[in-house]
Amino acid sequence: MPVLQYREALREAMVEEMELDDSVFLMGEEVAEYNGAYKVSQGMLERFGERRVIDSPISEEGFAGIGIGAAMTGLRPIIEFMTFSFSLVAFDQIVNNAANVRYMSGGQFQVPIVFRGSSGMAGALAATHSHRPEAWYAHVPGLIVMMPATPADAKGMLKAAIRSDDPVVFIEHEKLYGMTGEVPTGEHIVPIGKADIKRPGDDVTLITYSRSLGNTLLAAEALATEGISAEVIDLRSIRPLDLDTILTSVLKTHRVVIIEEDWPYCGLGAGIADRIYQRVFDELDAPIRRVASKDAPVPYAFNLENAMLPNVDRIIAQVKDVMYR
């Protein structure tokens, strides 16, 4: 299999779907003439022309709304936000319109649209450009939320998102764009709502997603040297959640640590822990632990930002806590 960057895998997914289906188009800030803020759409303007690769004004609410209207009339828009921190300007369009149109029209309208772009703490971007909004969007019925952690999943998940008849919030961590990995060619589809066991284990289940997968795997490797076998689950889809894969793992290991880059208060990890407690409480040999970002606005300084993140040492400490070591 060819080795591609994460950004190249995303581009390959969009190119393949646009070649297969004339109703697919890309719209967003700097996606055309500038080849994308992170060069995800490089070369696509030349390939597909200005009718299908469209530069928008810096008006997220406006072009998100245009995309929703286009989706309601039979097109399949891919709407790129330069950063998901800016998607908050379009929150009304995504939450009130995209998520509800199919339900409120009694199924007369579908909204096959993908909202995609960068997210997360990416280094000295400070509080207003470092949001991790996955829990906010996952809270909303009617939205699908996906977060790939590897180049192969980036391609397969984006292709599935573009083909979905429901609106998808597709969040790419900015720190992953330069990551490389093997990516299948051709018809590579990762089903929506299917988690992946990135490392099998027997002693403790580590649940994570997106950028945090990297540190979680490093922690699992370090724990293995001390005789602790950690199973690492990459959620991939945040909503719908693959609860079957999670519970199967918990029934094997009887211990859980959840790792997320988001804030802990009302976070995604809290919702996952609740679902585990509700279904298999008696199977747990220790309380569920969570490793999240520090509960504060994101600082500008590199060293302070790094101190906020769920690092390897913090993950190992929580695993040892549930192992009673």
Q: Is 94 helix (H, G, I), strand (E, B) or coil?
A: helix
Alpha-carbon Rg of the chain, whole angstroms?
20
Q: Which of 60, 231, 260, 305 is catalytic?
A: 60
Phi, psi values for residue 187, rounded to 5° = -80, 75
Contact 6, 154 (CB under 8 A): yes
Burial group, residue 312, by CB count within 10 angstroms (0-12, 13-18, 19+) = middle
Q: Over the range 186-223, which residues count as b (16 or more CB within 10 Å of their CB) and which as e?
A: eebebebbebbebbebebbbbbbbbbbbbbbbebbebb
Could you tell me which of 234, 215, 237 has the C-alpha nearest to residue 314? 215
Q: Which of 29, 80, 129, 173 is catalytic?
A: 129
Quote the Cα angle for 148-239-84, to 5°.
60
Using CA atoms, how far residue 208 sits from 33, 68, 273, in Å, is: 36, 31, 12
C-alpha–C-alpha distance, residues 255 and 205, integer Å: 6
Cis (ω within 30 of 0) for the bond into 264?
Answer: no
For 274, residues 6+ apart whose C-beta sits below 8 A from its C-beta are none
Contact 84, 133 (CB under 8 A): yes
Contact 184, 1 (CB under 8 A): yes
Q: Is 254 a catalytic residue?
A: no
Q: Is 129 a catalytic residue?
A: yes
Structure tokens at 72: 């309601």
Contact 209, 147 (CB under 8 A): yes
Quote the Cα angle for 229-295-197, to 5°.
25
Catalytic residues: 60, 129
